[in-house]
Amino acid sequence: MRLLRDEQAYRRILVDFVAQRLSAAAFIARFRHLWQCDGAAGIDSALAMRGALHDQTGFYGLLDSVNTLCETFAHNLPSGRGYRVSEEQFRKEVQSLVSTLPVPGIARP
């Protein structure tokens, strides 16, 4: 099983996005880059069980869920058509995921 190289990098990106210091496009690009560099897509075993509660999956499960949200949001942005899902709604969904898990350094609403 692989471990994340730098959990703090993920925490910083989540904090910056929830605090509105990053746009959705910048957040998705940075998050996906970290996720792909870590090969974290393969961490969907015990640490990131699909369908489990976030308090059962821990930080890896949270990141897996955020990755799924990123994929969904990017899919709902067809080129030239504008947003079908607002950036603010995406931010609220990420924030609600983050608020379900005690992640140090991430502000609660």
Residue 94, judged by CB atoms within 10 A of its CB (0-12, 13-18, 19+), counts as: buried
pTM to 2 decimal places: 0.71
pLDDT tens-digit series, residues 95-108: 998 887 655 555 44
Q: What percent of the chain has pLDDT over 90?
A: 24
Where are the chain's structural domains? 7-99
Residues 91, 55, 35, CA angle at the centre, nearest 5°? 55
Best-predicted range by mean pLDDT (4-13, 25-34, 66-75) = 25-34
Task: Give residue-wise pLDDT tens across range 19-68.
Answer: 999 999 899 999 999 888 877 655 554 444 444 444 445 788 888 889 99
